[in-house]
Structure 1
Amino acid sequence: MKKAKLKKGDSPTSSGKQPAEKPPSNESEADGDIRAATDLTVILSAIQTMSNSMNDRFNSLEATLSQLQTTLSETTSRIADLEGAKAEHEARISDLEASCQEILAVNKALCAKLDDLEGRSRRAKIKIVGLPENVEAGRPTEFVEQLIPKLLGTENFLERIKVDRAHRTGPLPSRGGRPRIMIARIHHYPVKETILRLDRGNMPL
């Protein structure tokens, strides 16, 4: 029987038989399990770290939101107080404006009345010039009441001339200086008109 010859390029296994596989090593499997366990631990640790970080950030955010909520509540309360105070102040301002209008009206009426009284007071006054100083002896009102009938004639005045008040104006003159003017207010305006009509420039009025 002839032996089979191997052709060039043929392998000893070309007869169809596969070489037997070597059985896995127990050490290699253990190493792989350790590496897998280590990788899982690292992943779980990373996930836990990330979770803790996110929890911390959420806690910080919640604290900030809580503080903002408190601030917002306080601000809202203050705004409500300010709005209430504003309404109260507006009401008081309206009352004050109304009072000011009333005061202005009263003041205007009083000013008009004062002007009228001042005008009437001036209308009832006469000026007497040239009277020596101290001739009235400290009683100017009584002096003028007696002086006018003497100057203009007692027959022209059937009743006593009523003088409300009389006084001199200006500072006391020096010795030999011009005497001060005497101003007298006649109580009845028609009497004052009679005095001026009778005067006609003949007496120092």
Structure 2
Amino acid sequence: MEAALECLLKPNRKTSPVDNPPYSNTKPIQRPNPLAEQQAKANGRMDAYVSKAPSDLATAKGEGTIMLEFLALQIQAMHDSTTNIEKDTRDIKFSIREIEAKLGTLTTRVDDMEDRVVALEESRDPSETELVTFGEELEKVRAQLDNLDNRGRRCNIKIMGLPESKEGKDMIKFLQHELPVMLYHTFGELEIQLAHPVGAPSRAQGERERPRPVIVNMLRYRDKEEILLVAREKGQIIWQGVKIMFFPDCWRETMDRRMSFNQVKAALRQRQVEYALRFPAIHEIKHNGFRHRFTSPGDAAEFIAKKIPKGLLLCSEAPSYRLQEAPSYRLQEPKSDP
């Protein structure tokens, strides 16, 4: 396009015969030139642009300065933010290292605790076995002590309701003389080794003095059994207007065990079955010519329900009772099973 413009603008260009026809008196024909028109339009636009370029250039330069300042601020802000992020990252890394160190310490402690727990569990098994063994041995020792204590009391009689100061100075002679009178029974020679009241007398004013129980230790076991047997057969015993009661002297736990058979004995009396309560707390039932012995009221009740059924039998291991309400029973000499 530039070459075409240069050709149009050259002043001394050669003309062709067509442009200068041989007819001298004839004016040349004016043909439209589109290239010239386009060039004129382009020149006009260029002049207009050049005329207003200085003002637009200043405006563009100001806008560019503003943009550069804005970009500089953005870059500075990004730099500050990056610096803060790096600082926070360093702090986080430091905190993580501290946490890792603490976790390492905790892990070591947990491992030590696990080792200790394992050691305790391993040492516990023998201890449990030893504890069971000690428990069994303790039960045996307690049973032996119970047996020794009861055997030491097996010749004792406990007399309840005997008025205070009636015995005078010699309790043994008093009982040797008064026991046959109390029971309306002729005994042989009653040999008493020891007799004394238990506990301190009641001296509370305004209340009737309650007599203390008297413990009588007989020399012979047969004499003790005879006295208790006669007392049970007599039932209520009144001596000088006072109610007197006779009981075997047993250890408290042994007495509880003896009293736990009360319901069993009541059921046997209803069935008219012969029974006996052996020392210290062995319940003996005679059935079909055999003697069956029980140390638990539950076992005795189960035996009665199966072997001697008659109505409903209710029996608990530890029924409520009072000492003076113990029912009468007949002690029998043990016999060998047929």
Q: Does the 8 Å CA contact 1:124/1:192 hold for their aligned counterparts?
A: yes
List aligned pairs for 1:78-157, cutoff 5 A: 78-85=106-113, 87-88=115-116, 91=120, 94=124, 98=128, 101=132, 104-128=135-159, 133-137=164-168, 140=171, 143=172, 147=176, 152-153=187-188
Give the distance between the partners of 1:146 and 1:197, measured in 2 at CA: 15
Correspondent of 1:55 among 60, 65, 83: 83
**Where in structure 2 are there 5+ consecutive unaligned residues?**
1-14, 21-26, 38-42, 44-53, 181-186, 232-236, 238-245, 247-338
Structure 1 unaligned runs (5+)? 14-18, 20-26
Over aligned residues, Cα RMSD in angstroms? 5.6
- Flag the 1:4–1:116 CA change in 2: closer, same or farther, 3 A: farther
SS where residue 164 of structure 2 aligns? coil
**Change over 3 Å in CA distance of 1:36–1:181 after alignment to 2:** closer
Structure with more of its chain in helix, by fraction: 1
- Does structure 2 retain, via aligned residues, the 8 Å contact 1:168–1:182? yes
Q: 1:184 aligns with which of 213, 216, 225?
A: 216
| % identical equivalent positions | 16
Give SS of 2:31's match. Answer: coil
Structure 2 CA distance for partners of 1:106 and 1:80, relative to 1, 3 Å:
farther
Residues in 1 aligned to 2:33 and 2:169: alpha-carbon distance in whole angstroms: 168
Query: Partner residue of 1:8?
Result: 32
C-alpha change, 1:86 and 1:185, in structure 2 (3 Å) is farther
How many equivalent pairs are there?
Answer: 186
The answer on whether the counterparts of 2:155 and 2:224 sit within 8 Å (CA) in structure 1 is no
The alpha-carbon distance between structure 1 residues 86 and 166, as it changes in their structure 2 partners (threshold 3 A), is farther
1:73 maps to a residue whose letter is A
In 2, the alpha carbon distance for the partners of 1:11 and 1:153 equals: 174
| Letter of the structure 1 residue corresponding to residue 94 of structure 2 | S
Distance change >3 Å, CA 5–CA 131, structure 1 → 2:
closer
CA contact 2:198–2:215 (8 Å) conserved in 1: yes
Q: How many Å separate the matches in 2 of 1:95 and 1:50?
A: 68
Matched, 1:193 2:222: yes
| Higher RCO (CA-CA < 8 Å; seq separation 6+) | 1
Name the aligned partner's letter for residue 167 of structure 1: P
1:145–1:162 CA contact under 8 A, matched in 2: no
1:97–1:144: structure 2 CA closer, same or farther, 3 Å change rule? farther
